[in-house]
Amino acid sequence: MERSASKAERLLQLERLLLAFPEGLRKAEIARRLGVHRATAARYVDEISRRVPVWEADQYFGIRHEDYRVNVRLNVHEAMALHMAARLMATSTDKHNPHAAAALRKLSQALQTVAPLVSAHLVASAAVMDDKARRRDPLYLEVLETLTRAWAEGRKVRLGYQKAPEGPVTVCCFAPYFLEPYALGHTTYVIGWRDDPPGERTLKLERIRHIELLAERYEVPASFDALGKLSNAWGIWYTGTDPQEVVLRFQACVAGRVVETQWQPGERTAVQPDGSLVWRAWVAEPTEMKPWIRGWGPDCEVLTPGWLREEIAEEMRRAAQVYAG
């Protein structure tokens, strides 16, 4: 019994070892790290390959991370949190995503017994992600899959990026640090390091025209803090400069709707004697707020910064001219 338990422990240790070395290990190195004979290590590799996706190349062995399945145990409240996240994803993206649909169906199957109603809604959300009316974009899916694998394995990519529809496509090597969905634009951005010219960049996935996974590896700098960078961003835009304070006045008729939601971390609100609401927040790039501000129409007035007030006023004047005729 002890020998059987020891073997099971060694197989689990081997699985964790190969996961820790995505570039793979030779059998001799596996044997050394496990403290077993090389022939025993070879048998262990053969055994775990029956249940784990193992690759072999040039006498190196490793686990295919993109095909590796993890086991997750959730209670019903944790599952509900994933259901709500799935609903947000289903309603905030316009693209067909078979991976998201497959994940929701697996979660649904796991919940059929303990939460049948939640399970049924997860199936429905999966159907939305798989709906034939969804925009099919094979290139976008390929870009997302390649960046996901690159980020998971710490490998660079070579990609072609086109900033404008009619502009040139520039090719560069890129190390993905973070992937961030952007509900407002129904899209996803990747933040990372571009080699030439060197610097941190934020790229929109739809503007990547071709992509190739490279063998070259990278490490995300310890100083990189994606959540910190985006903490003052209205959506995805952030700058190296200090955030600016934005002050808005909302009319009394919409003040209640405004305070129902926290729109920006650290925001402050103050109800005025006439029932209007003054809203304040620090924003990395206030330009990104303009569609949201315009959406409130005349019920929202920009007080500061001055340049944002002028731009919104000019856009409102132009809109009025369109409807004047």
Q: Output the six-digit token pair for 92.
A: 């905030």
Share of the chain above pLDDT 90, in %: 38
> What six digits make up the tokens of 94?
């316009």
The CA–CA distances, whole Å, from 236 to 230, 311, 319 equal: 7, 21, 26
pLDDT digits (tens, 9 = 90+) for 149-169: 999 889 999 999 999 888 999
Instruction: Give the residue, 83 or 184, on which the prediction is more confident.
Output: 83
At 224, list the tokens. 């990189």
Is pLDDT of 138 > 90? Answer: no
**Residue 169, Cβ neighbours under 10 Å: how many?**
13
Residues 215-220 have a mean pLDDT of 93
The token pair at 9 is 């422990």
Mean pLDDT of the chain: 86
Q: For residues 324 and 270, is the Cβ–Cβ distance under 8 A? A: no
d(CA 60, CA 33): 15
Distance (Å, rounded) from C-alpha 178 to C-alpha 92?
A: 19
Arithmetic mean of pLDDT, 2-20:
77
Cβ(285)–Cβ(229) below 8 Å: no
pLDDT above 80 (res 314):
yes
**pLDDT higher than 70, residue 134:** no
Enumerate residues 6+ apart whose C-beta is below 8 A from 180: 188, 189, 190, 191, 226, 230, 236
- Mean pLDDT value across residues 46-74: 84
Mean pLDDT of 18-31: 87
CB 267 within 8 A of CB 312: no
**Is the bond leading into 298 cis (omega within 30 degrees of zero)?**
no
| CA–CA separation, 65 and 19 (whole Å) | 8
pLDDT at res. 1: 37
Over residues 226-240, mean pLDDT: 74
Confidence at 87, pLDDT banded by 50, 70, 90: confident
pLDDT of residue 240: 67
pLDDT digits (tens, 9 = 90+) for 252-271: 999 999 999 999 888 999 99
* Beta-strand runs (E) in 58-207: 60-63, 155-162, 169-182, 187-194, 199-204
**pLDDT by residue (tens digit) across 157-208?**
999 999 988 899 999 999 999 988 876 667 888 999 999 889 999 899 999 9
Going by C-alpha positions, the residue among 285, 239, 213 that lies closest to residue 65 is 213
Domains, in order of start, for the chain: 2-67 (1.10.10.10), 76-130 (no CATH), 138-223 (2.30.30), 244-324 (no CATH)
Written as six digits, the tokens of 270 are 């103050």
> Residues 284-295: pLDDT tens digits?
889 989 999 999
- CB hemisphere CA count around 152 (13 angstroms): 15
pLDDT at residue 184, as a whole number: 67
